[in-house]
Chain A
Amino acid sequence: MNPANDVALENERPRVDIRQKITGAARYTADQQPARMIFAKAVRFPYGAGKVVSADVEAAKKVKGVLEVEVDMEEVAEYPGAPIGHIVAESRAAIEDAEEALALKFERTAPKTDPVALHKAPESPQGGVFEGAAAVVEGTWRTQVQTHSCLEPHGSVVDHRGASAEVWGSTQTTFGHLDGMKGPTGLDASQIVVHCEYVGGGFGSKFGIGREGDLAARMSKKYQRPCKAMLDRSEEHLDGGNRPGSIQYIKLAADKDGKLLGGRMDLVSIVGHGRGGGGVAGLGDVYDLGAIEETESEINLNFAKPRAFRAPGWPQAVFALEGALDALAAKLGMDPIAFRIKNDKSQRRKERQYRVGADLIGWKDRKPDGTATGRVRRGFGMGSALWPTWPTKCGAQADIFRSGRVEVRVGVQDIGTGTFTLVTDVAAHELGIDRDLVTGRVGDSRFPAGPGSGGSQVSRSAAPATVNAVRDALDQLKASVASEWKIDKEKVKYGKGTFSTEDGAKKLEWAKACALLADEKVTGNGRTETGTEGSGTSDCVQFAEVEVDTETGIVRVKKIVAVHAAGVVVNRLTFENQICGGVIQGISYALFENVRLDPKTGAMVNADFIGYKIAGSKDIPEIVPVLDVEPGDTGVRPIGEPSTIPTAAAIANAVSNAIGARIMELPITPQRVLAALESKGGAA
């Protein structure tokens, strides 16, 4: 933001919308219930592949409250949950009754559900860097398909009124939603208003209006009534987004001093029936890996296409690479941190983050891999990551009212990360006034445009845009004061709520100055064209301490230390909240989450929150978020994505350290731990 400003922005007040979130007053898209609303829902194919062979559409149409039913008998479905039609009705219950009345009969074809069976193991490369290397590690790491599992499912409520439409969207991009609604509503952006004040999570899966948004818009237009189309929990798993799985063959060589020489990586993404989701990414960004020969390919399964998922490609890549690095360090007889310092590209990590994290986790208690004894064994592990920045445009508007109150408006959405709080606190800090005088408003397409919540770019762009808008409004207020004092505007000084003349002879407090305004309010506009003011790469390292019960294979994560460069932290609580959220999602990915496809029918057998296991309160350890600052940190840096990247890698390395066998596959279930203990195999 402004290097000249003091950067002690950090405050510890609860997020501004905490009361709304805790009491349920926050109204999400799923909560919207305009009068005369109708409901729409897709009819979905339940199995891996095939088509509908019979549907009693007439019976479904006869169900009380049903407005229309369509089933596409020609559609060849390629994944469980593939939409093959839709039902529109007066209530959700009527839709379900119509689904039953449809009495769909299907023809199934053999689904592709097993990526390992479809994977061709590469031949082990010889010669080159491997010749004469002091240590070589070779192995195949695998990761599962993970669903985004947003608590608020995907969906929209659209109220089409002929020449205008009001839209509520559970989306990561207010303006993407606006754009997407143009087609199905047949309206111009000037005729559409999109609301998304409160969004119950997205994690990368809520870009674009989706088929559900499209359906809601078309049906609202057709019936000229508000229409709601929200996915249910099963649909959310099946067709609400997923992180691609991976099969990563890695062979790496290092010299006797621990310097990486290079090697070979065959990276295969498991991508459902399409492409996307970021594959396996980021491998060469953290460490100087030497001369790497890399291939990338894909395996298609009969499952929904992947979508971007909180650091697309990264958690899976870092899990495999950090596992290979630990294996190499062990072969060289080096401490894993010393080994990484030899190869790390980041000064921050080398000079500070490794040391700080190691101290806090108790790294000195770490024993060499596999030397722990007893039934319950303790292990320590770590993993590193980063997140970059790139140019992002964002606008903001700020009103200063005659009453002394301030309103800041930024069109971007708050997907739970604290955008409301960010713009409020930034404006209050910039003006040097109490936060209670400021109202932050976000998630409305009538406000200045800004980016989607993807790639951790909202905070770092909304913050400088807000500063600029507030300064513009303040400038206008200064003009009023100058006019009152009959001096030039440039001669009015301002700081911490007080206006003064250069010589300090005249002073005016905030409220009295605002009262001078000729109109009810002045409005300032602000922008950033880059969103990188004072920002930079978010380097991080996370450490894990685990206990493994070697009799049952059950892993308990005891502690995670997460050291993150986050630049200027606007609000300490939202920073810690974001880091803890990322770590919890990482723990859940490391130990539990897994899409299970039936090998015969291709159905996802665990498309709920019972069979699809997500970390619960007792699975969550002590989490220590550490803000890594250094002189020159003057802007806001990304933390949304990096906070979840290295968690699984750190846990896997800690488990490997505890049991003396490498964990080669996520999730780290008791089954896999017991198998690893039995074989003591893995990377060799």
Chain B
Amino acid sequence: MSVFSNVRPVWWGLLGGALVALALGFAFREAREGAERLRRVSTRLVEVRQVADRIERERETLRVEVPRSAVSIGELLDVYLPESSFLAGEEQSELLGTAYRLRSVRVKVEGAAWDEVRALLERAGEQTPPWVPRNVELRAGLTGLEGTLHLEALDKAVDSP
């Protein structure tokens, strides 16, 4: 007891001050490093949310714009232009992801009028999902227009129930 009592109060004060300074130093370092870690993780969360939101927006857009399978061009010609001079070729299909596909078809034109071509493209574009012309090659022949129309459509590979 006397050993401690012999220590002057100023030394106790210095010891206490040194300990407090040490504690504050460690605490400050922990606070600074902790804040930095917190900032990094917060930034990561914001970035992950941004990517997730973008993916969700794309999903939603596709849900609205591509709700089902597209009507085939052959069916479309049968229904809307049964007497036309169009001949739908073999359809190609490429699976994109797990639920969607890109379909393409070449339509041969033999002796058609400009109005018929316009009507076909309008009917194809009005479908949901629409058929979009990607390449049009036409020339005036003896009996009318001749050439090919290349059409593509993005649709669902399997219709939702």
Q: Please indicate whether A and B come from the same complex rather than being unrelated chains.
A: no
Residues of B participating in the A interface, judged by any CB pair closer than 8 Å: none
